[in-house]
Amino acid sequence: MIWVLSGVVFLAAFLLFQIELIIAKVFLPSFGGSYFVWGACVVFFQGALLAGYLYSHFILEQAGIRRYRHVYILLFLLPLLGFPGQPLPAVTVSRHIPPVLDIFFHLLISIGPVFFILSTVSVTLQKWVTVSSLPQREQPYFLYAWSNLGSLGALVSYPLFFESHFDLTQQIRIWRWGYFILIAGAAALAAFLRLMPEQKQSADRSRPAIARSVVFRWLLLSAAGVVMFLGVTNVITNEIAPVPLLWVVPLAIYLAAFILTFREPSLCPAWIKNQIWLWVGLGVVLHLLTEAGAITSLSVWGLLLYCGLLFVVCMYCQHELYQSRPRDSRGLTYFYAIISLGSFLGGIAVSWVVPLLSSGLIELLLAFCILSLALTADPRLAGDRDFYLRLLAVMWVFMVQNCPRVAGALLTAVILYAVWRQLKEKPRVVYCVLLAALYLVPLFRVDLMQSNVIYRHRNYYGIMKIVEDRRARYFVHGQTVHGAQFLDPARQQEPLAYFHYSTPIGQVMQSGRFQFHNVGIIGLGAGALAAYAKEGMAFDFLELDPDVYATAQKYFTYLKNSRGKIAYYWGDARLSLDQIPSGKYDLFIVDAFGGDAVPIHLLTTEAIAKYRQCLKEDGLLLFHFTNRYLRLDPVLGRNALELKAFVAYQENPPDDANLVMESSWFAMTWDAQKHHILVNDLGWQDVDTGRVKNVRPWMDGYSNIVPYIKF
């Protein structure tokens, strides 16, 4: 019976996690790819999960598992009145309410009921075990490890198996069958899991009092783990290596820590438990080195260091949560409600608050500060004479990082005191040096070590920087250059980087073989393409992030000095195209692969059909798909074959002397003459679409980037 219990918990978590990935993909074509789509989904998922934990706590406190268990099994049948008993309702975007509220509404009516039921399974069945005759009734927390194992299974299997082999319709059908199996498993538990006789239970039904300091520590430890996980994810995907699917690794580590620690015995090495302050100090130094640019140049080592640090912090937090869990099972639901609340607050802080408060990636420092506060509630450190000194070290680094004018006199005094105290005990000399480094590094303001960074801004889409050298100014987003401009006023209207005269787009615009009057462009960057606009030409830029426009206007002159008429459409490009008349453009350019991230919904056959609708009959469609990690030409070739388009391909080598970057361009047209000019006059390569017949076209219901990752 214990295996049935474990299987039901595993499957519930698997389905819970997988429906998040499926529904976000379902919403993408209708709501677009703005941050608020995924951000709203994340808030809903976290809020619904918290609601499920709180509901489980209050209902089990009031009703008890004996009276509630049969009702609980019936609750599994309620979602069958909608999804998964019925198809997912159609997504119809409302223009009368804010998009975030519209997304919340669609999530609520589509997967809200089933998501809520799934969120209660782990906690409810753990409570169920406590009144059973199973030998594990005193330690039901092992089921939480099975729950996280189910989440990890869904995380890994979705991109590697389900997404690659099945379209959305098939994925939903498989998911529905999984839910029916879950109902059968829950029914089997209700029928065959034997409960202890009433008289064997304790007569005292009151829940033992739990100290507020313990509850506060649960809250902080759970928040610290989530903030650390999200912080490392942001650092890796923004500053080190924005490799597709790399975000899976930090999440897998976070879930694995729960699997290893929520068991008996809890697996947490002594070198983590006993040296947590050492790892906090190393983490702060690692963060400051990253801010100084020393880690990003060593992407592999940086990735390993951050993943190792994440593993250490998550193992410590999860282990401490497990060790401080209520020993009386009547506090079980309260325990999970608190750690769910901490996770929710940590997730909201990183996803929605931090990007508005800081221009840098301060999530790691925030995680260390929260962890430091959690340590203050640890009774084992009550007599530690150096505890508050170490706490001050972390808090001070956080302040200096964000308040550079803090007086240096106090800083120097703290360093001298730390050295004097630690040198008394020789084994602590190493820690002493580290502690001094924590104070000294921020004193020199690591951002000044990157003196060529003249502007830095963070919003929900990442971090953008303006970087200068002796020749040019660069627009950098994450680790990707989005445009450049010479500082020499005489050459400022010469487009650089991927858009130079010698690049494929430069050849097309400068050849004189095409007559372009109206041009549409997805992606603004530094606005370099505006340099090709002549008198009488109109350029429409479709840009997701308005802050990109503000930065381009302030630090570059392409837009200001353009001779053409420039217009802007804000928001997701596929939604913006609904505002544009059919047949408007002679040329349409898709240049939206920011930071090597691929907006898949802009590459599907449905998206390309929309581009074609906005083109004239003899119009030209160009894709700039330069990417360090993906080969997208097979996908574009197969989609062109699906839409019966003529296709051509061209790339250019880098030229450092003229600040030209290597770029790859793909052309589609439904006009044979345009295709002839590209191939025969401009030297583009004709693409034999017959070679990609076996490639599956990308559609709104199917896409898979795994086969196209460059290894």
Mean pLDDT throughout 269-295?
77
Q: Does the structure show a pLDDT above 50 at 426?
A: no
- As a dihedral over the C-alpha atoms of residue 565, residue 569, residue 573, residue 576, rounded to 10 degrees, the angle is -110
Mean pLDDT throughout 249-253?
93
Residue with tokens 């802080």: 349
Phi, psi torsion values for 516, nearest 5 degrees = -105, 125
CA 275 to chain centre: 30
For residue 682, the model assigns a pLDDT of: 94
pLDDT in tens, 665-697: 999 999 999 999 999 999 999 988 778 888 999
For residue 395, the model assigns a pLDDT of: 56
For residue 393, the model assigns a pLDDT of: 57
Q: With contact defined as beta carbons under 8 Å apart, do 229 and 310 qualify?
A: yes
For residue 406, the model assigns a pLDDT of: 44
Q: Does the structure show a pLDDT above 90 at 560?
A: yes
The residue with greater pLDDT, 122 or 203, is: 122
CA 662 to chain centre: 28
**Cα dist from 368 to 213, 314, 380, 545, 566, whole Å:** 19, 12, 19, 31, 47
Highest mean predicted confidence (pLDDT) among 86-100, 281-295, 387-401, 488-502? 488-502
The residue with greater pLDDT, 192 or 641, is: 641
Mean pLDDT throughout 273-289?
78
Q: With contact defined as beta carbons under 8 Å apart, do 458 and 535 qualify?
A: no
Q: Does the structure show a pLDDT above 80 at 383?
A: no
Secondary structure (DSSP) of 222-248: HHHHHHHHHHHHHHIIIII---TTTTH
Q: Does the structure show a pLDDT above 90 at 259?
A: yes
Q: Does the structure show a pLDDT above 60 at 304?
A: yes
For residue 668, the model assigns a pLDDT of: 96
Q: Does the structure show a pLDDT above 90 at 415?
A: no
Mean pLDDT throughout 494-520?
93
pLDDT in tens, 116-148: 999 999 999 999 888 888 888 888 999 999 999
Q: With contact defined as beta carbons under 8 Å apart, do 543 and 524 qualify?
A: yes
**Cα dist from 296 to 237, 239, 478, whole Å:** 11, 6, 10
For residue 93, the model assigns a pLDDT of: 82
Q: Does the structure show a pLDDT above 60 at 202?
A: no
Residue with tokens 């990636």: 361
Nearest residue to 370 via CA among 320, 303, 435, 414: 320
**Cα dist from 581 to 390, 559, 571, 578, 669, whole Å:** 63, 24, 17, 8, 19
- The whole-chain average pLDDT of the chain stands at 84
| DSSP character at residue 580 | S
The SS3 call for residue 60 is helix
Q: Does the structure show a pLDDT above 50 at 410?
A: no
Q: With contact defined as beta carbons under 8 Å apart, do 228 and 367 qualify?
A: yes
Kind of pairing, strands 480-486 and 565-570? unpaired
Query: Burial level of 188, CB count in 10 A (0-12/13-18/19+)?
Result: middle
What is the spatial order of strands in the sheet that 663-669 belongs to? Answer: 565-570, 538-543, 518-522, 585-590, 615-624, 663-669, 646-652, 685-686
For residue 207, the model assigns a pLDDT of: 56
Query: Burial level of 419, CB count in 10 A (0-12/13-18/19+)?
Result: middle
- The letter for the amino acid at 589 is I
Q: Does the structure show a pLDDT above 90 at 257?
A: yes
**Helix or strand run (H / E) with residue 486:** strand 480-486
pLDDT in tens, 532-553: 999 999 999 999 889 999 999 9
220 HSE (CA, 13 A, CB side): 20
The residue with greater pLDDT, 167 or 396, is: 167
For residue 392, the model assigns a pLDDT of: 58
For residue 397, the model assigns a pLDDT of: 55
Secondary structure (DSSP) of 611-645: HHHHEEEEEEEEEE---SSB--HHHHHHHHHHTT-
For residue 292, the model assigns a pLDDT of: 65
Residue with tokens 């506090």: 331
Q: Does the structure show a pLDDT above 60 at 39?
A: yes
Mean pLDDT throughout 59-70?
82
For residue 61, the model assigns a pLDDT of: 85
For residue 443, the model assigns a pLDDT of: 44
Nearest residue to 28 via CA among 700, 534, 626: 700
Ramachandran quadrant class, 32 (left: phi over 0; alpha: psi -120 to 50; beta: rest): left
pLDDT > 90: what percent of the chain? 52
pLDDT in tens, 68-90: 877 888 899 999 999 999 999 88
Mean pLDDT throughout 425-440?
48
Q: Does the structure show a pLDDT above 50 at 444?
A: no
Mean pLDDT throughout 194-209?
56
Cα angle 262-266-268, degrees, rounded to a multiple of 5: 115
Q: Does the structure show a pLDDT above 70 at 391?
A: no
For residue 277, the model assigns a pLDDT of: 76
pLDDT > 70: what percent of the chain? 85
Q: Which residues of 138-164 are buried (b: 16+ CB within 10 A; e: fewer)?
A: eebbbbbbbbbbbbbbbbeebbeebbe
pLDDT in tens, 469-495: 889 999 998 778 889 999 999 999 999
- As a dihedral over the C-alpha atoms of residue 577, residue 581, residue 586, residue 591, rounded to 10 degrees, the angle is -10
Cα angle 111-117-123, degrees, rounded to a multiple of 5: 140
Phi, psi torsion values for 195, nearest 5 degrees = -100, 155
**Cα dist from 381 to 279, 374, 376, 388, 425, whole Å:** 17, 11, 7, 10, 19
Gap between the Cα atoms of 253 and 269, Å rounded: 16
Q: Rounded to the nearest 10 degrees, what angle do helices 2-31 and 142-157 cross at?
A: 40
For residue 204, the model assigns a pLDDT of: 43
Nearest residue to 52 via CA among 185, 170, 194, 147: 147
For residue 330, the model assigns a pLDDT of: 79
Q: Does the structure show a pLDDT above 50 at 23?
A: yes
